Amino acid sequence: MQTERWRQVLAMFSEINPRELTAFQTGVVMAERRYGMFTPASAVRPPELPPPEEGYYMPPARGRQQLPVDITNAGRSCWLRGDTFVRSESQLFALELVTGGKGELTVKKRRYELLANDVFVLHPNEAHRYRATSLKPFEKMYVGIAVATALQRTLLERLGLLQTSHIRLDSATAHAARALITEIIRALQAAKPPARARLSALAYQLLVTIAEAYAPPPAPLALPDGVEAAMRHVLTHLTEPVRVATLASKTGYSPDHLNRVFVKYVGMRAHAWIENTKLLAASRLLNKTRLKVHEVAECLGYDNSYVFIRVFKRQTGMTPEVFRRRVWDRRRAPRADATTTATETRGRGRRA
């Protein structure tokens, strides 16, 4: 039955060597076993629904047939709640467009909610898991794209699609992507062999359409020399009181200009950055040492411990003593649990 299925899938291509057909069929089956597994939530499926998967495959390109964008497969899915696909490793790059229902994608322990008009991207050499989560069927369309050559990988990287796993499209972009995937599926589904160049052009248009909708987070602005000099001065003088006016004189800026530059490049005024830096150092001292609160305040250049306690509580919502107690209690908790478990085990052993 499985052999007949793959023969039907490949029957659209003319002049296929039977030896190549067998090799391709075996390769796909081995890839399914090695790189992923679909697990239905239930063996019972409402008869009115389409099958879970409707996929069409393109024989792998070789030599001069390889194009900068080469489609490997495309299709549609209609999953019921709990249906799951898991890959521990993948040689695939795929774009999957959600058209209905809800799902969830997990990549490297990070989870993404999948809604209609979302695209999720499956990368090569990546472990991922995705599943249907809604009572309404989770429907999607997908296109697999080859990453066999350096040129193919470079193109995907430059489009930014190797750096993201989830893209939320607006309605117009989702409609355009859906139309392109539909055209790709129809071309693969046709009785005559699809033109590889035509499919490549459609796939490239799809990649560009989705890439244009993806806005990667902006790269952080390079810090001006004056800001870097001010930060270095604070870090090397944490044990002393540091004033904004002192920093301004060290950098050649006026205090007002220094604050404006800090807001632009760091997101806060210079005094706030100094305060946050000192409180970070304070939290580490409270966590790692047994210094008294007034000693921590002295170490960080505060005039007196009352000022330090007031600033610490304003920023963290708790006093230094409460912060230290919570951190230490958290650190001791696992040990206490382990001691209790060991004691119970020994007790059970004696009773036995």
CA distances from 112 to 88, 129, 277, 349 (A): 18, 11, 33, 46
Residue 48 has pLDDT above 80, yes or no: yes
Cα gap 288→223, rounded to integer Å: 31
Distances from the Cα of 326 to the Cαs of 279, 287, 297, 331, in angstroms? 17, 10, 19, 9
Looking up tokens 């993201």 gives 164
| Domain over 225-331 is classified CATH 1.10.10.60 | yes
Give the mean model confidence (pLDDT) for residues 258-283.
Answer: 90
pTM above 0.75, yes or no: no
H-assigned helices in the chain: 2-10, 18-35, 150-158, 171-189, 196-213, 225-236, 244-251, 255-266, 270-288, 293-299, 305-316, 320-351
With cut-offs at 50, 70 and 90, classify the pLDDT of residue 336.
very low
Sign of the CA dihedral with 312 first, then 316, 321, and 327 last: negative
* Whole-angstrom distance, CA of residue 213 vs CA of residue 281: 41
Please compute, for residue 337, the number of CA atoms within 13 A of its CA located in the half-sphere on the CB side. 6
Residue 318 phi/psi, 5-degree rounding, is -150, 160
The domain limits of the chain are 2-19+31-213, 225-331
The pLDDT of 175-191, averaged and rounded, is: 90
Q: Determine whether 219 is exposed, middle or buried from the number of CB atoms within 10 Å of its CB (0-12, 13-18, 19+).
A: exposed
Q: Tens digits of per-residue pLDDT, 215-269?
A: 665 666 678 889 999 999 999 998 999 999 999 998 889 999 999 999 888 888 9
Cβ–Cβ under 8 Å, residues 84 and 99: no
Under DSSP, the state recorded for 129 is E
Chain centroid to CA 105 = 9
Question: 340 or 241, which is more confident?
Answer: 241
pLDDT at residue number 31? 36
Q: Which of 27-36, 139-148, 320-329 has the highest mean pLDDT?
A: 139-148
- HSE toward the beta carbon, residue 281, CA cutoff 13 A: 21
Token pair 């409402």: residue = 46
Of 90, 125, 127, residue with least CA distance to 107: 127
Mean pLDDT of 81-89: 87
User: What would the mean pLDDT of 262-278 be, rounded to a whole number?
Assistant: 89
Q: 252 exposed, middle or buried (CB, 10 Å; 0-12, 13-18, 19+)?
A: exposed
| CATH match of 2-19+31-213 with 2.60.120.280 | yes
> Residue 84: which residues within 8 A CB-CB, separation 6 or more?
38, 39, 41, 129, 130, 131, 132
Residues 242/303, Cβ–Cβ less than 8 Å = no
Give residue 63's identity as a one-letter amino acid code: G
